Amino acid sequence: MIETLSTNRAFGGTQGVYRHASAQTGTPMTFSVFVPDHAPGATLPVVWYLSGLTCTHANVTEKGEFRRACSDLGLMFVAPDTSPRGSDVPDDEAYDFGQGAGFYVDATQAPWATHFRMRSYIEQELPAIIAAQFPADMARQGIMGHSMGGHGALTIALRNPGRFAAVSAFAPIVSPLHCPWGDKALTGYIGADKTAWRAYDACALIADGARVPDILVDQGGADNFLTDQLKPHLLVEACDAAGIPLTLTMREGHDHSYYFISTFMEGHLRWHAERLRA
């Protein structure tokens, strides 16, 4: 059962924010869904958007500028939170670990393992809710994300072959095995054995045989995380070696913010719509 927190009319559709009690995280979880107007009984293809560090569902919902394009293209847009939250949920003082930084993993280390099950929440629990409660065509799904959420979108698509007809990312963390954010998060959530990390690293998954039809990535050239954390050249190398078509566009002058994301959001949605035959 889900609770409706708000609904607003916008661009020929309805933007809703919802909450439910998650069995996976053991906490309330909030998510947003934009549903374009559609014929009675019709179902719509679904695009998932996974947010980055420090974000909730609200960042893209309020600043992503996706609704006009989704309405024009007939796409549902689903934006989950980035982690479990609550006074009883473990946290960390740093922005890049704990609440707001779930990294889309199922944690195995104490004290995180009890609640930090974002992989199962995004891959299993929330899709079942979307399928049951909204006019979603679950045979036509795409997934996209930003930064940590780009990492989530890439790895979830690679681990679930055939589920997503389209995958794209804005400034994704392409290889947590090779960046400080990933080293901190995966050590804390998964443990020191780096072989267990490979399920959460897009480049490692590709090297280990995972495949998607193609990938779209936009990266800001003025992104201050580009060199140390994001390293898109590693994804280029992995896709080249595997024969996965990758469209990577460097957007000079653009940073890591929603000014960047919102500028190129429509292009990503049109790219998804083509693959979802929307």
Q: Return averaged pLDDT per consecutive 10 residues of the chain, 278 residues in all.
A: 97 98 98 98 98 98 98 98 98 98 98 98 98 98 98 98 98 98 98 97 98 98 98 98 98 98 98 92
- Whether 147 is catalytic is yes
Q: Which of 83, 147, 168, 175 is catalytic?
A: 147
Q: State how many domains the chain has.
A: 1
> Model pTM?
0.98
Q: Which of 223, 254, 268, 272 is catalytic?
A: 223
CA distances from 90 to 28, 58, 101, 115 (A): 15, 22, 11, 8
Q: Please give the Cα distance from 228 to 217 (Å, whole number).
A: 18
pLDDT of residue 278: 62
- Whether 256 is catalytic is yes
The answer to whether residues 229 and 260 touch, using CB atoms and an 8 Å cutoff, is: no
Q: Domain residues for 141?
A: 2-276
The answer to whether residues 91 and 78 touch, using CB atoms and an 8 Å cutoff, is: no
Q: Which of 115, 151, 254, 256 is catalytic?
A: 256
SS3 labels along the chain: CEEEEEEEEECCEEEEEEEEECCCCCCEEEEEEEEECCCCCCCEEEEEEECCCCCCHHHHHHHCCCHHHHHHHCCEEEEECCCCCCCCCCCCCCCCCECCECCCCECCCCCCCCCCEHHHHHHHHHHHHHHHHCCEEEEEEEEEEECHHHHHHHHHHHHCCCCEEEEEEECCCCCHHHCHHHHHHHHHHHCCCHHHHHHHCHHHHHHCCCCCCCEEEEEECCCCCHHHHHCHHHHHHHHHHHCCCEEEEEECCCCCCHHHHHHHHHHHHHHHHHHHCC
- Whether 178 is catalytic is no
pLDDT of residue 115: 98
Q: Domain of 211: which CATH number?
A: 3.40.50.1820
Task: Give the CA radius of gyration of the chain.
Answer: 17
